[in-house]
Amino acid sequence: MSETEITKKCLLDLSKQDGVTVWRNNTGALKNQSGQLVRFGLPGSGDILGLKATKITPEMVGKTFGLFISIETKTKTGKQRDQQERFEEMVIKHGGIYVVARSPEQAVAGISEVGNEQQD
């Protein structure tokens, strides 16, 4: 399965999870009508970004917040680039969820491990 196919299937499966909102995140560069190179997106960021509603513990007021998620889709043999590894480190450092998914099942499992014990 190609990365594009994995990404599409991950988006579909993730969007079916309670309290999860995800979207496709494109990065790259294109030439505009004037021939200037225009870069878009954050280099190294995941193919899929989103939020997962998670209830924090009662001693932390008990309010619900959105937990940042980043899913980097790869084929069975695909490897993260250096920028992607740095982005992963940043997301984890700030308490977000980062998953390298080689299938929709891995994407869903990766976001399911955090926060479900706190959901209503």
Does the structure show a pLDDT above 50 at 118? no
Tens of pLDDT, residue by residue over 17-33, are 988 889 999 999 999 99
**Neighbouring C-beta atoms of residue 100, cutoff 10 Å:** 19
Residue among 118, 102, 100 at smallest CA distance from 52? 118
What is the number of domains present in the chain? 1
Tens of pLDDT, residue by residue over 46-64, are 999 998 877 777 877 777 7
* Mean pLDDT for the stretch of residues 77-98: 91
What's the token pair of residue 109? 């499992």
Please tell me what DSSP assigns to residue 115. Answer: S
Quote the domain boundaries for residue 90.
Answer: 3-118
Q: Specify the CATH number for the domain of residue 86.
A: 3.40.1350.10
8 A C-beta contact, residue 29 and residue 38: yes
Q: CA triplet 84, 12, 51: central angle to 5 degrees?
A: 55
In which band, very low, low, confident or very high, does the pLDDT at 115 lie, cut at 50, 70 and 90?
Answer: low
pLDDT given for residue 76 in this prediction: 95
